[in-house]
Chain A
Amino acid sequence: MSSASDQSPQTGDAETQAEAHISVRNLDMAYGDFLIQRDLNFTIRRGEIFIIMGGSGCGKSTLLKHLVGLMEPARGEVFYGSVDFWKASAVDQLRIKRQFGILYQSGALWSSMTLAENVGLPLGEFTDLEPAEIRRIASLKMALVGLAGFEDFYPSEISGGMRKRAGLARAMALDPDILFCDEPSAGLDPISSRLLDDLILQLRDSLGATIVIVTHELASIFAIADDSIFLDADTKTMIAHGDPRVLRDHSSDPKVRNFLLRGELGAQAATEVGGAAAG
């Protein structure tokens, strides 16, 4: 199923053979001629929490753009169920997109609308609910992310972390099938970030949503991940694939272990290098 160089023994067959929700095959990503990542192959199963990891600038946000149909692959395919997104008709593409909820790295709230309008807009467009009902649901979603009472604020009037949470409330507005989050806990205090993890777990357990998260937050990764991939900027491809807990302890790639151990190996390595330079 995967051509990743680092296959930990537990992944692949031991996991339940859940239905594949998103499959990425031989994906190359590039901005013009500037290649970001190549040969990505992985499958996200229905109802799992899938983590995309990697150093800053390795292409995680770019990968997410490919998964949500905003960027066309330079090569390779992205399948939803059995449908190849970029070969599907416009109608099918739209149908697939409507199952998504997306939290952008920057929040990407619509700046001319209040928070309640931001959360309520998808409800208004895709359901037949009354405005009062929409408002009630919007308030509920905002309360879930800890923003009760901020309904009539504009995005420019709240803090960065609050924008992130409002973005998450909007992404959850239509109870999406697949929730994509780009660094949901960046800029949040430890408690809020912990609450967010709980919320994501709840969403998965109660709604059965598939959740794809880009994050560096190790505590979250170990708390909630079912599966993960690790992108590397130097080799420009994924260098590990599997349960992050297993990767941390058993990965053959020091880069991956180092990342998952918060750079402790790296700190040692750096002192060795420093010693060499000094000697």
Chain B
Amino acid sequence: MAVDAYRDGAQIALGRLASGDISLRLTGDWRLRSGLPTPASFQELLRSQDRLQRLVVDASGLHHWDSGLLAFLVGVREACRARNVDFDAGDLPAGARRLLTLATAVPERQGARRSSAAHGFLTLVGDETVKLWRSFGGMLEFLGQATESFGKLIVFRARFRRSDFVEVVYECGAAALPIVTLISFLVGLILAFVGAIQLQQFGAQIYVADLVGVAMAREMGALMTAIIMAGRTGAAFAAQLGTMQVNEEIDALSTFGLSPMEFLVLPRMLALILMMPLLCLYADFMGILGGAVVGVGMLGLSVTQYVNETIHGVGLVDFAVGIVKSSVFGVLVALSGCMRGIQSGRSASAVGQAATSAVVTAIVLIIVTDGFFAVLTNVLGI
């Protein structure tokens, strides 16, 4: 009957047996690597047969085979079942027959398969909106719990391990110094360069000291440390807590009646709130040092001149503004890192997402808050 040739190896053909049944003749090499006919092509053949009762496999021409043959036969069997045709394994090699039995020994679990139907545009928009709303709710809940545990801290009833706290303090304090040094020194240097080009035109290069000092103290010191800490520590918090979530460590804490909020989030928040102002102050001085290098090395100012001008130009208020801001940024970085970590899903990729979104959330919050501070200080005339 109809013979359908495929590539070199595996071929199928339908034939009629003496008994009147239809035979499915398999010939050639049936291996995954050499390419196989698809079950669809078989269905094509099957469609040409009407009043088909029984299909017998004829494997006399079969050479080598592997699981490719099985995959095909499982498809064939499905197709037969759909058309109410009896499937007879015929003279299939014993090994193939056993595996075929095994492949269907455990029936598919009802309801386990996920439907992958494409969703309409409106459904997607709706889903995303609901998700956004939920995540907003989750954020508020987390904020509430964090505030509650802070309250407990104030009345000395919060439980956490002092040694954890000390370790986090080290991690987000001393261990962050090298990167903060590098970045803020360079930022001071860059500010001085940009300022110098403009100010030199008026012979006012001495004011580079004021420019760098004020910019570092009020703005850049706090901002740069906050962004560094968001990338460094915020992401680390999210990854640590996310991994703990994956390993059920957080479940283990809460079933012991220990609040993960107090035990994990509080020491991290506290450490960042304490360390950020210190790091910010340190960054301020590093930036000013960077500015001085340009002032002294390139603009021909003396060290004394530069220092005097800085002392004269930058007030304590400027430092205070920066330090207050950096404490607030510390809270934001710690909150977003811990929140994304605690809310992380239970898989490796979810931990990755948690770390990413911790950084993004922190940076967005930092910039928005900084804008808010700019308006506020302007209105208050500080």
Interface of A is mostly: mixed
Q: Within the complex, what minimum Cβ distance (angstroms) separates B57 from chain A?
A: 11
- A234-B109 CB under 8 A given contacts A108-B251, A109-B249: yes
Known A-B contacts A97-B256, A125-B159; A277 and B97 likewise in contact (beta carbons under 8 Å): yes
Of the listed stretches A6-14, A40-48, A98-106, A189-197, name the one at the interface; the rest are far from the partner chain: A98-106
Q: Do B101 and A98 touch across chains, with their CB atoms under 8 A apart? A: no
> Which residues of chain B from 98 to 153 have a CB within 8 Å of any chain A CB?
98, 100-101, 105, 109-111
- Cβ-defined partner of B244 (8 Å) among A111, A125, A126: A111
With contacts A270-B101, A277-B101 taken as known, whether A104 is within 8 angstroms of B251 at the C-beta atoms is yes
Q: Which residues of B contact A121 (CB under 8 A)?
A: 161, 256
In the bound complex, CA of A70 to CA of B255 (Å)? 7
A274 within 8 A of B: yes
Whether, in the assembled complex, B254 has its beta carbon less than 8 Å from a beta carbon of chain A, the answer is yes
Q: How far is A97 from B256 in the complex, measured between Cα atoms in Å?
A: 6
Q: Does A79 contact B (CB under 8 A)?
A: no
Q: A108-B249, A234-B110 are in contact. Are A274 and B255 (CB under 8 A)?
A: no
Cβ-defined contact, B252 with A278, below 8 A: no
Interface residues of A, count at CB 8 A: 30
Docked complex Cα distance between A233 and B105 (Å): 16
Partner of B100, one of A68, A102, A108, A277: A277
- Residues of B with C-beta under 8 A to A70: 251, 254-255
With A125-B159, A125-B258, A233-B109: A108-B101 Cβ-Cβ less than 8 Å:
no
Would you call A110 and B101 a contact (CB within 8 A)?
Answer: no
Within 8 A of B (CB), among A7-63: 34-35
**Contacts of B98 on A, CB cut-off 8 Å?**
274
Is A148's beta carbon under 8 Å from chain B? Answer: no
From B167, which residue of chain A is reached at the shortest CB distance?
Answer: A112
Q: Which residues does chain A contribute within 8 Å of B254, judged by CB atoms?
A: 70, 97
Cross-chain contact A108 with B252 (CB below 8 angstroms):
yes
Q: How far is the CA of A228 from the CA of B253 in the complex (A)?
A: 28
> Is B347 interfacial (CB-CB < 8 Å)?
no
Contact of A219 with B by CB under 8 A: no
With both beta carbons as reference points, the residue of chain B lying nearest to A271 in the complex is identified as B101
* A273 located at the interface, meaning its Cβ lies under 8 Å from any Cβ of chain B in the complex: yes
Interface-centre pick from B101, B243, B247, B255 (highest chain A CB count, 10 A): B255
Q: Mark B233-258, 1 if CB is under 8 A from A, else 0.
A: 00000000001100111011111111
Q: Is A69 an interface residue (CB 8 A)?
A: yes
In the complex, which residues of chain B have a beta carbon less than 8 angstroms from the beta carbon of A35? 111
- Residues of B at the A interface (CB closer than 8 Å) are 89, 97-98, 100-101, 105, 109-111, 159, 161, 164, 243-244, 247-249, 251-258
Q: Which 10 A-B pairs have the closest CB atoms?
A: A108-B248, A108-B252, A274-B101, A98-B257, A97-B257, A104-B248, A94-B257, A102-B255, A68-B255, A110-B249
Q: Which residues of A are at the interface with B, using a C-beta cutoff of 8 A?
A: 34-35, 65, 68-70, 94, 97-98, 100, 102, 104, 106, 108-112, 121-122, 125-126, 170, 233-234, 270, 273-274, 277-278
Q: List 16 A-B contacts (CB under 8 A).
A: A102-B252, A102-B255, A108-B248, A109-B252, A110-B244, A111-B243, A125-B159, A125-B256, A126-B257, A170-B252, A233-B109, A234-B109, A273-B101, A273-B105, A277-B101, A278-B97
